[in-house]
């Protein structure tokens, strides 16, 4: 007589809800990247050197020759300048984000993540969140340096924090552009180059370093509708820094709203494209 043993089928593990799993996986990846950053302090140190150099160079080398509001007072220009330097700092982090993702692709790490049972967008979201934390630390140090060279705010603490929040939101939005570039190239070097090529015209054809009213009409129109310019102008208003804009362009008349709309739109578009690229990526 043959004994027959009934074996109960192994129950499949219960899945976590889509949003809950995505948040959990994103935080895990963000933690992994933050730990990695702490083990490579040169990444943070070198990320601080460039903006500090810009502050010193523009403040003391060019400050006395810049006309802001009809005056060439270097102290006035320093207050005008700092919103632009802050915005440039958070957006230039884009190149590093793109290079980091390209490096992960080159080493096959992205393929290993894709083989795991995790939310598809979590790898990129976690990476961009970690970059946002690093950018916030850089911005904090840069603000201290700005105070040392004479920059001051003239509004409430809430408005100052609101300005920094807009700056970080813009930086986070641009990081998704960097993520898409990092997924689209073959090497980290190409990602760095590709991340900087478009950033220079975006940051310099703006009101960050000079009054856009002094530009030729066609160039001023581009600068006034530049998403970067909207965040710079919003920050100046919230900081209470000089930078009166004589422009009928809607973003310059409503810079806070324009900054929010531009940043959210960039995140929506480029996150969608980056996640789609990630799904189809191969090492």
Instruction: Give the whole-angstrom CA distance, residue 252 versus residue 132.
Output: 26
Bridge partners of residue 68, in order along the sequence: 71
SS (H, E, C) the chain: CCCCCCCCCCCCCCCCCHHHHHHHHHHHHHHHHHHHHHCCHHHHHHHHHHHHHHHHHHHHHHHHHCCECCECCHHHHHHHHHHHHHHHHHHHHHHHHHHHHHHHHHHCHHHHHHCCCCCCCHHHHHHHHHHHHHHHHHHHHHHHHHHHCCCCCCCCHHHHHHHHHHHHHHHHHHHHHHHHHHHHCCCHHHHHHHHHHCHHHHHHCCCCCCCHHHCCHHHHHHHHCCHHHHHHHHHHHHHCCCCCCCCCCHHHHCHHHHHHHHHHHHHHHHHHHHHHHHHHCCC
Instruction: Count CA atoms within 13 Å of residue 13 on its CB side.
Output: 4
59: pLDDT strictly greater than 60: yes
Bridge partners of residue 71, in order along the sequence: 68
Task: Kindly report the pTM of this predicted structure.
Answer: 0.84
pLDDT at site 111? 67
More confident residue, 117 or 144: 144
Those residues whose C-beta lies under 8 Å from the C-beta of residue 155, and which sit 6 or more positions away, are 238, 239, 240
Domain ranges of the chain: 22-280
56: pLDDT strictly greater than 90: no
pLDDT tens for 145-174 read 888 888 889 999 999 999 999 999 999 999
Contact yes or no for 26/125 (Cβ under 8 A) = yes
Task: Report the share of the chain in percent with pLDDT over 90.
Answer: 28
pLDDT tens for 194-207 read 878 888 899 999 98
Instruction: Give the whole-angstrom CA distance, residue 165 versus residue 187.
Output: 32
Instruction: Give the whole-angstrom CA distance, residue 227 versus residue 270.
Output: 15
Contact yes or no for 279/120 (Cβ under 8 A) = yes
């Amino acid at each position: 007589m043959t004994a027959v043993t009934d074996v109960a089928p192994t129950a499949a593990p219960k899945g976590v809800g889509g949003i809950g799993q995505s948040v959990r996986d994103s935080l895990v990846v963000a933690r992994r990247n933050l730990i990695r950053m702490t083990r490579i302090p040169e990444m943070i140190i070198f990320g601080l050197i460039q903006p500090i150099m810009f502050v010193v160079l523009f403040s003391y080398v060019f400050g006395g020759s810049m006309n802001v509001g009809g005056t060439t007072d270097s102290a006035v220009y320093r207050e005008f300048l700092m919103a632009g330097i802050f915005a440039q700092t958070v957006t230039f982090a884009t190149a590093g984000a793109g290079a980091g993702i390209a490096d992960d692709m080159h080493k096959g790490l992205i393929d290993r993540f894709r083989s795991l049972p995790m939310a598809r967008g979590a790898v990129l979201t976690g990476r961009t969140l970690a970059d946002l934390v690093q950018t916030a630390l850089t911005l904090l140090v840069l603000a201290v340096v700005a105070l040392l060279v004479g920059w001051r705010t003239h509004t409430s603490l809430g408005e100052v924090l609101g300005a920094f929040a807009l700056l970080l939101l813009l930086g986070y939005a641009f990081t998704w552009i960097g993520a898409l570039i990092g997924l689209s190239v073959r090497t980290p070097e190409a990602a760095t180059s590709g991340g900087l090529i478009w950033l220079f015209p975006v940051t310099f054809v703006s009101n960050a370093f000079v009054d856009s009213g002094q530009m030729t009409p066609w160039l001023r129109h581009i600068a006034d509708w530049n998403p970067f310019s909207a965040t710079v102008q919003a920050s100046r208003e919230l900081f209470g820094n000089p930078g009166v804009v004589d422009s009928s362009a809607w973003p310059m008349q409503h810079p806070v709203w324009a900054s929010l709309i531009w940043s959210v739109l960039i995140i929506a578009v480029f996150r969608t494209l980056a996640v789609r690229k990630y799904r189809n990526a191969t090492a």
